[in-house]
Structure formats: C-alpha cells, structure tokens
C-alpha cells in the first residue's frame, strides 16, 4: 500500500487518541470529534481512513477498539521491532522513559553511550552498553531502528557503525543531517527547527495584526 | 510574505548547516552541495531560496555569510523572543541545554515545574519557577513562546494559564494534542509519531524487498 508520510503521522496520532479514549471507556467516536481533538477537519479524518480501507462508520461513529486494531494492522509489523538509543543524556533518557511506558509494540531494548559512568549500568530499565561494542551488541539484540540523541559533534562518527550493524531505520535528533545508503529509512529531526517554525509564525501573526 | 511551513522548516535547517560551514571557514557553497547534505534535490534548494527572493548564486555558489543573514531576515523577528519551558524533566532539560548553547536569537529564559526540589533553583542556567506563578512570571519575563515538556497527564491543565498569560506560540511535546484559540500558533509534536513513522517505512521496505 502506498500511504503518504503525513497520513502515517496522522494515523499514529489518531491511534494514540483512540487508545486514550478506550482507557476512558469511550466505545465510539465521530469523525468530527476525532478531527477536533487533532485540530483538523472531519473530511481529512475520513479521507485518511478511507485510504487505509476503514469504512465502518456507524450511526454512533467509529468503533474505537476496532479502529485501534485496524490502524495497528497498518502501522505495526507482525514481528516486534527492537530499537536502541545512542546517547543516553537527558534526551535519550526522556525518549526511553516516555516510549517504553506506552505499551507499544516497538520497544527500546538497549542504549549505547561512551560515558564510563553510564556504560555497564541499567538506565530507565534498559542496559547501557559501550558504543565500541555497538556492532556486535546490535546484532545480538536484534536492533532494527536506532534513535540518535548523542551530542551533535559525535553524530558523523556514528554513521559507519550503524551501517555495519545492518540497522534499517534511523531517527536522528542531532543537528547534523546524516546521509545513509538508499534503502535505509532516515528521519533527521532537529528540535531547533520546530521552535524556529513556531517563532516565525508568531512573528507573522504579529505583522498581520498590525 | 506567504511561505509554506515546509519551506520554513528547510530554511531553518539550511541556516544551521550554513552556520556550521561558516565556523569551518567555508565561504561559498553550491546549491547541489547544500541539497546533498539535506538529502534533497538542488532544484528544491533553489526553489526555496527563490521564494524568499535570494538570487545571488555566483560561479562559486552561494555566499555563506550573506545567505545566513538573508535567512535570518526572514526567520528572526527584530525583537528577540523569549521562551519558557514548562516541565523541567529530562526532556525539558535536554531542550534547554541544547537550545541555549546554539547562540540563536530565540532564548529560553525561564522554566516552570511543580517539583519542590526544582522550584527556586537554577537548572541549565535558567531559573525554575513554581507553575502556580506562571501567569505573573510569564508576564514579568516577557515570554512569547512556551515549550511543553511536562508529563502528558498534566497537559490539559496547562491550557488555561497559557492563554491567560497571553502566550502566542506553543510547542507541545506531550501526547495530548491541545487546542488553543485561533491566532495562537500551536505545534503538537509527539516523538512517538516520529518513531512509528520510521518503523512503518522500515516494514514497508522489507515487504517491497521480499
């Protein structure tokens, strides 16, 4: 199935909202309610769900549990995927804690760092290994995806071990955009960009309101 | 000027790369080099720069310092904008440390938390105040933009004080999408979405390669 990136992002967001609804005992939800929560139009929600072939809109709205399962069939792989975090500073720890508390199919199972005070210990419930051992450990732990939360200055040094270890997806939070061979999935995500974007639109709003 | 969100993101990314080039003593850069670093096409780079009216492509490529200044005129506001972080856990600290080390015009000047061990102290070089005092402190410190890095369970409680304090932009990292009145700039950014997206495209790659 050929689903655009933006739709994949929204499906991930819908599912999180639906899971929260489910925990609150909400069994059905209308498209315009789901849309309102995400600040988009009901047409967009219906279009996204149509694209993945979900069509059981009842008089009570979508069945929450059914839609969670349906989105799961699209997003999740049959085999659980293992992730590792490279760089166990504040950002690495925040991501691990946050992510592993969600009960998702994706799990962060290992961390890597070069700081001797971290290597060899458990942080946020997962073992932290020496970055020197990355290739063998990544293979042993069956790591598919890595999150880069190291200092930016270390980022380029990580490319070769990541390729050698056969990693298939990279989420890069450092400020250095990294290029990997074609066929690897890479998302470069610098938080500065998000903040500069918000600041820009705040400024534009001001200028339009003069 | 009406510049699409994606272009604003790329301009922010180009500038970061250009600043790094400048620090390394690189004075000129070709569009295809800049494109290669960001994993996009030279056509895209040229189109983005054309859109903001930058046209001084020389035989040696773009003048790095000039392009940094030019992008700055688009992205930055004349007055510096002040930001605050709400929730000074690992994520809040990572963002503060990272962002304030960049020497940008945007500055994180205050933090807010409810943890008595944090309130009243300085964390990452900025004062941490009690969330109870948010409205008066935000006004006193002239806060324009807030970063929400609190636990997700606290997110909805933050909406009213943020509106009351006259905040104009919100970057929300909690898992609860928040709705604010029209005219406020809001970016909801859940890191889980990024990871689920990478995982999805890794899975798709696998299936296409069977």
B209 exposure class (CB count in 10 Å sphere: 0-12, 13-18, 19+)? exposed
Phi, psi of B76 (to 5 degrees): -85, 150
Cβ-Cβ contacts under 8 Å, A194 against chain B: 171, 187, 189
Question: Over pLDDT 90: what percentage of chain A?
Answer: 70
Q: What confidence score (pLDDT) does residue B159 get?
A: 95
Whether residue B102 has pLDDT greater than 80? no
Question: Alpha-carbon distance B147 to B98, whole Å?
Answer: 13
Whether residue A38 has pLDDT greater than 80? yes
* Count of CA atoms in the C-beta half-sphere (13 A) of A87: 22
Question: Which among A5, A36, A205 has CB closest to B168?
Answer: A205
Whether residue A195 has pLDDT greater than 70? yes
Question: Which band of pLDDT confidence, cut at 50, 70 and 90, is reported for residue B188?
Answer: confident
Question: Which band of pLDDT confidence, cut at 50, 70 and 90, is reported for residue B18?
Answer: very high
Question: Which band of pLDDT confidence, cut at 50, 70 and 90, is reported for residue A205?
Answer: confident
- Partner-chain contact B177 A37, CB within 8 Å: yes
Q: What confidence score (pLDDT) does residue A7 get?
A: 94
Whether residue A94 has pLDDT greater than 70? yes
Candidate ranges A15-24, B57-66, B72-81; pick with highest mean pLDDT = A15-24
Q: What confidence score (pLDDT) does residue A58 get?
A: 76
Candidate ranges A51-65, B91-105, B108-122, B194-208; pick with highest mean pLDDT = B108-122
Q: Does B203 touch chain A (CB under 8 A)?
A: yes
Cβ-Cβ contacts under 8 Å, B203 against chain A: 76-77, 81
- Partner-chain contact A195 B83, CB within 8 Å: yes
Question: Which band of pLDDT confidence, cut at 50, 70 and 90, is reported for residue A210?
Answer: low
Q: Convert the pLDDT of each residue in B151-170 to its tens digit.
A: 988 999 999 999 999 999 99
- Partner-chain contact A8 B197, CB within 8 Å: yes
Q: Convert the pLDDT of each residue in B130-149 to its tens digit.
A: 999 999 999 999 999 999 99
Question: Which among A77, A144, A177 has CB closest to B38?
Answer: A177
CA distance B147 to chain A (A): 8
Instruction: Give the best residue of B51, B194, B195 to mutate against chain A (max A CB count within 10 A).
Output: B195
Q: What confidence score (pLDDT) does residue B172 get?
A: 94
Question: Which among A149, A192, A202 has CB closest to B81?
Answer: A202
Kindly report the average pLDDT of chain A as a whole number. 91
Question: Which among A16, A169, A199 has CB closest to B202?
Answer: A169
Numbers of helices and strands, H then E, in chain A: 8, 9
Residues 123-182 (A) with a CB less than 8 A from some CB of B: 144-145, 147, 149, 168-171, 175-177, 179
Tabulate helix, strand, coil % of chain A (nearest 5): 50, 20, 35
CA distance A59 to chain B (A): 26
- Partner-chain contact A16 B201, CB within 8 Å: no
Whether residue A207 has pLDDT greater than 90? no
Q: What confidence score (pLDDT) does residue B164 get?
A: 95
Closest CA to A21 of A86, A89, A71, A75: A71
Q: What confidence score (pLDDT) does residue B58 get?
A: 76
- Partner-chain contact A12 B197, CB within 8 Å: yes
Which tokens go with B131? Answer: 């969330």
What's the pTM? 0.87
Q: What confidence score (pLDDT) does residue B118 get?
A: 97
Q: Convert the pLDDT of each residue in B171-186 to its tens digit.
A: 999 988 898 988 899 9
- Determine the average pLDDT of the residues in A126-154: 95
- Determine the average pLDDT of the residues in A193-203: 90
Question: Alpha-carbon distance A45 to A121, whole Å?
Answer: 44
Strand ranges across the sheet with B122-123: B122-123, B126-130, B107-113, B82-86, B143-148, B169-172, B185-188
Cβ-Cβ contacts under 8 Å, A183 against chain B: 205, 209
Dihedral (Cα; A107, A108, A109, A115), 10-degree rounding: 180
Whether residue B107 has pLDDT greater than 70? yes
Q: What confidence score (pLDDT) does residue B111 get?
A: 97
- Partner-chain contact A12 B145, CB within 8 Å: no
Residues 88-117 (B) with a CB less than 8 A from some CB of A: 89-91, 93-95, 97-99, 102, 104, 106
CA distance B160 to chain A (A): 17
- Determine the average pLDDT of the residues in A111-127: 96
Question: Which band of pLDDT confidence, cut at 50, 70 and 90, is reported for residue A175?
Answer: confident
A-to-B residue pairs, Cβ atoms closer than 8 angstroms: 192
Question: Which band of pLDDT confidence, cut at 50, 70 and 90, is reported for residue A117?
Answer: very high
Q: What confidence score (pLDDT) does residue B210 get?
A: 58
Q: What confidence score (pLDDT) does residue A190 get?
A: 84
Q: What confidence score (pLDDT) does residue A92 get?
A: 95
Lowest pLDDT segment from B27-31, B104-108, B115-119 = B104-108
Cβ-Cβ contacts under 8 Å, B102 against chain A: 192
């Amino acid at each position: 199935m050929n689903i655009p990136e933006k739709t994949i992002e929204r499906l991930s967001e819908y599912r999180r909202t639906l899971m929260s609804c489910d925990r609150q005992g909400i069994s059905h939800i209308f498209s315009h309610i789901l849309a309102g929560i995400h600040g988009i139009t009901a047409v967009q929600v219906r279009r996204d769900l149509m694209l993945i072939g979900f069509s059981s809109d009842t008089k009570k709205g979508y069945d929450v549990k059914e839609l969670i399962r349906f989105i799961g069939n699209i997003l999740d792989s049959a085999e659980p995927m293992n992730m590792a975090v490279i760089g166990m500073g504040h950002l690495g720890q925040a991501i691990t804690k946050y992510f592993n508390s969600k009960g998702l199919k994706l799990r962060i199972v290992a961390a890597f760092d070069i700081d001797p005070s971290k290597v060899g210990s458990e942080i946020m419930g997962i073992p932290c290994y020496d970055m020197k051992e990355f290739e063998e450990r990544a293979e042993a732990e069956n790591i598919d995806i890595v999150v880069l939360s190291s200092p930016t200055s270390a980022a380029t040094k990580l490319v070769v071990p990541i390729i050698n270890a056969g990693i298939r997806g990279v989420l890069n939070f450092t400020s250095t955009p990294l290029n990997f061979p074609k066929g690897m999935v890479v998302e470069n995500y610098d938080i500065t960009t998000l903040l500069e974007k918000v600041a820009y639109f705040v400024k534009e709003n001001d200028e339009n309101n003069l």
